[in-house]
């Protein structure tokens, strides 16, 4: 809220100022009587013995209501109130008149636009009631005008904010355009927007750095490979793949020190907190129709074949097959990153860890499929770390190409052409930082 609006709001909360009355009459006894009548009510009361003196008071004081006699020398009540109306139109105007002054009263009504007229001799209670009601109406009008000014100012501020927001959206859209170019090329065989969103979600935890970088993508690749070897329908393979990308989404709220702390080293309280993440992950995705199958697998991916897992203590084949696959793939990668047991295991030791859990932690069928993959894996090809100026068409990525904030630009094994190389260089120009691109050291690399 800007200063002007803040001032308006502050004024709205302040108590109203004491009303000020101006009594105008050329007869001192009338003025004295009126002054005695109003003084006990706490009003600020000013008096004047004629129209000219009344105008002087009006010029130097903030007056809310004027009570003027009709018959006065030099300037009568109609003339005086007409001047008041011209110069101080918000001031309430009341005229005192005798029964014999009906013509002058009409003149006052026409020229001075008076609020009321009071006949002499007056009734004190009636006069007090008339003045009180007039001041209340005036206060309501002022509040209405103030609120209208405040509303107008807020509307203007909202318009300015909307214009600024639209400009920010346009600027952000332009920044994203370069990234979207990579995504459209990399996933032209997939449901582009949907899969891209899933990959963005999977990066949320990994963007916090440390040993988590690349964990979800590695687990997803292994789990999808296992699912296909077990001849799952393609729709179920897709659910396994998406669940693997998002299996840690429930950890978003965990503190950094718990994300990389081995589960075996945690205190009881820490374990209880971490053990909530499968259910939280399912809850986070339940509103998305396309992810209902994946959400069910995420909830069950820490269940154990022997029933000692969590959160539902499922056993054996009551655990969804996709979750049994995901449990093994996740543990295999975490064993190597040091987030499962108290030390980071070598690849061979991680394979041995999985074999030892056969029939206990893991479904024997998934272990057998995993071992077939592990034993048949070819030795990793050597790779080169290049900058964009060294890239040539025909080179293949040996690692995922990611932005500085962890967003996926191109997937591992993607074959580069002249167009993609140009887009990589354009992205570096927009981002302001060079990328390191890892490619296979083979023909063309």
Please report which confidence band the pLDDT of residue 106 belongs to, taking 50, 70 and 90 as the band edges.
Answer: low
The pLDDT tens digits for 237-248 are 989 999 998 898
Q: Give the distance between the most distant pair of CA atoms in the chain.
A: 120
CATH number, domain with residue 14: 3.40.50.2300
User: Same domain, yes or no, for 445 and 327?
Assistant: no
Domain boundary among 113, 145, 177: 145
Residue 288 lies in a domain: yes
Instruction: Determine the pLDDT at residue 243.
Output: 92
Instruction: Determine the pLDDT at residue 10.
Output: 43
Q: How far is CA 227 from CA 198, 199, 238, in A?
A: 19, 19, 9
User: Same domain, yes or no, for 30 and 13?
Assistant: yes
Domain boundary among 103, 130, 145: 145
Task: Please say if the pLDDT value at position 49 is more than 80.
Answer: yes
Task: Please say if the pLDDT value at position 13 is more than 70.
Answer: no
Q: How many CB atoms lie within 10 A of CB 265?
A: 11
Task: Please say if the pLDDT value at position 169 is more than 80.
Answer: no
Quick check: pTM over 0.75? no
Domain boundary among 321, 356, 377: 377
Give the C-alpha separation, 157 to 406, whole Å. 37
| 312-330 mean pLDDT | 96
| 247-268 mean pLDDT | 84
User: Same domain, yes or no, for 217 and 248?
Assistant: yes
Residue identified by tokens 């479904």 is 363
Residue 225 lies in a domain: yes
Please state which of the ranges 43-47, 348-352, 368-372, 437-441 shows the lowest mean pLDDT.
437-441
Residue 177 lies in a domain: no
User: Same domain, yes or no, for 203 and 330?
Assistant: yes
Residue 83 lies in a domain: yes
Give the C-alpha separation, 161 to 58, whole Å. 42
Please report which confidence band the pLDDT of residue 377 belongs to, taking 50, 70 and 90 as the band edges.
Answer: low
Task: Please say if the pLDDT value at position 392 is more than 60.
Answer: yes
User: Same domain, yes or no, for 296 and 243?
Assistant: yes
User: Same domain, yes or no, for 348 and 384?
Assistant: no
User: Same domain, yes or no, for 282 and 409?
Assistant: no
Please report which confidence band the pLDDT of residue 254 belongs to, taking 50, 70 and 90 as the band edges.
Answer: confident
Task: Please say if the pLDDT value at position 173 is more than 80.
Answer: no
Q: At what angle do helices 347-356 and 364-376 cross, to 10 degrees?
A: 160
Task: Please say if the pLDDT value at position 310 is more than 90.
Answer: yes
Contact 44, 64 (CB under 8 A): no
Instruction: Determine the pLDDT at residue 5.
Output: 43
Residue 160 lies in a domain: no
Residue 352 lies in a domain: yes
Instruction: Determine the pLDDT at residue 9.
Output: 45
User: Same domain, yes or no, for 217 and 274?
Assistant: yes
pLDDT winner (highest mean) among 45-49, 68-72, 181-185: 45-49
Give the C-alpha separation, 85 to 32, whole Å. 25
User: Same domain, yes or no, for 124 and 53?
Assistant: yes
Instruction: Determine the pLDDT at residue 442.
Output: 61
Residue 171 lies in a domain: no
Kindly report the average pLDDT of the chain as a whole number: 82
Instruction: Determine the pLDDT at residue 53.
Output: 94
The residue ranking higher by pLDDT, 366 or 287, is 366
CATH number, domain with residue 346: 1.10.3210.10
CB contact set of 311 (below 8 Å; sequence gap of 6+): 275, 276, 278, 279, 299, 302
CATH number, domain with residue 421: 3.90.105
Distance of CA 270 to the CA centre of its chain: 30
**Residues in a beta bridge with 79:** none
Boundaries of domain holding 394: 380-445
| 126-144 mean pLDDT | 87
For residue 68, what is the enclosing H or E element?
A: strand 65-69
| 58-78 mean pLDDT | 90
User: Same domain, yes or no, for 339 and 407?
Assistant: no
Residue 183 lies in a domain: no
User: Same domain, yes or no, for 242 and 109?
Assistant: no
Instruction: Determine the pLDDT at residue 102.
Output: 62
Please state which of the ranges 90-94, 114-118, 293-297 shows the lowest mean pLDDT.
114-118
CB contact set of 274 (below 8 Å; sequence gap of 6+): 251, 254, 258, 263, 266
Q: What is the percent of the chain where pLDDT is above 90?
A: 36
The pLDDT tens digits for 397-428 are 887 787 766 666 777 777 888 888 988 898 88
Domain total for the chain? 3
The pLDDT tens digits for 341-354 are 888 899 999 999 99
User: Same domain, yes or no, for 334 and 403?
Assistant: no
Q: What is the percent of the chain where pLDDT is above 70?
A: 81
């Amino acid at each position: 809220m800007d200063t002007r609006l803040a001032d308006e709001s502050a004024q709205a909360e302040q108590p109203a100022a004491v009303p000020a009355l101006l009594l105008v009459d050329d007869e001192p006894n009338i003025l004295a009587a009126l002054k005695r009548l109003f003084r006990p009510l706490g009003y600020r009361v000013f008096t004047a013995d004629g129209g000219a003196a009344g105008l002087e008071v009006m010029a130097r004081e903030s007056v809310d209501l004027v009570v003027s006699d009709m018959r006065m020398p030099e300037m009568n009540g109609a003339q005086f109130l007409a001047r008041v109306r011209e110069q101080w139109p918000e001031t309430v105007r009341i005229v005192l008149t005798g029964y014999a002054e009906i013509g002058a009263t009409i003149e006052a009504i026409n020229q001075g636009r008076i609020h009321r007229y009071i006949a002499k001799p007056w009734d004190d209670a009636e006069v007090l009631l008339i003045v009180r009601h007039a001041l209340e109406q005036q206060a309501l009008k002022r509040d209405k005008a103030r609120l209208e000014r405040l509303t107008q100012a807020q509307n203007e501020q909202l318009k300015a904010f909307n214009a600024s927001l639209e400009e920010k959206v346009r600027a952000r859209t332009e920044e994203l355009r370069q990234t979207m170019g990579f995504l459209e090329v990399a996933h032209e065989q997939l449901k582009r927007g949907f899969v891209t969103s899933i990959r963005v979600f999977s990066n949320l935890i990994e963007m916090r750095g440390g040993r988590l970088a690349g964990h979800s993508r590695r687990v997803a690749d292994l789990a999808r490979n296992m699912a296909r070897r077990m001849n799952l329908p393609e729709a179920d393979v897709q659910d396994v793949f998406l669940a693997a990308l998002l299996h840690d989404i429930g950890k978003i709220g965990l503190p950094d020190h718990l994300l990389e702390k081995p589960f075996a080293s945690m205190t009881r309280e820490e374990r209880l907190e971490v053990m909530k993440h499968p259910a939280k992950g399912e809850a986070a995705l339940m509103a998305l129709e396309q992810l209902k199958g994946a959400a069910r697998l995420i909830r069950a991916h820490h269940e154990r074949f022997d029933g000692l897992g969590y959160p539902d203590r499922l056993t054996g084949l009551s655990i969804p097959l996709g979750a049994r696959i995901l449990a093994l793939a996740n543990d295999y990668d975490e064993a190597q990153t040091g987030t499962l047991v108290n030390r980071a295991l070598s690849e061979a030791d991680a394979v041995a860890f999985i074999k030892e859990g056969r029939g206990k932690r893991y479904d024997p069928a998934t272990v057998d499929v995993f071992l077939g993959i592990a034993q048949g894996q070819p030795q990793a090809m050597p790779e080169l770390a290049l900058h964009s100026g060294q890239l040539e068409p025909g080179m293949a990525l040996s690692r995922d190409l990611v932005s500085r904030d962890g967003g996926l630009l191109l997937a591992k094994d993607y074959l580069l052409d002249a167009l993609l190389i140009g887009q990589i260089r354009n992205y570096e120009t927009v981002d302001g930082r060079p990328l390191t691109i890892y490619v296979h050291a083979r023909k063309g690399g």
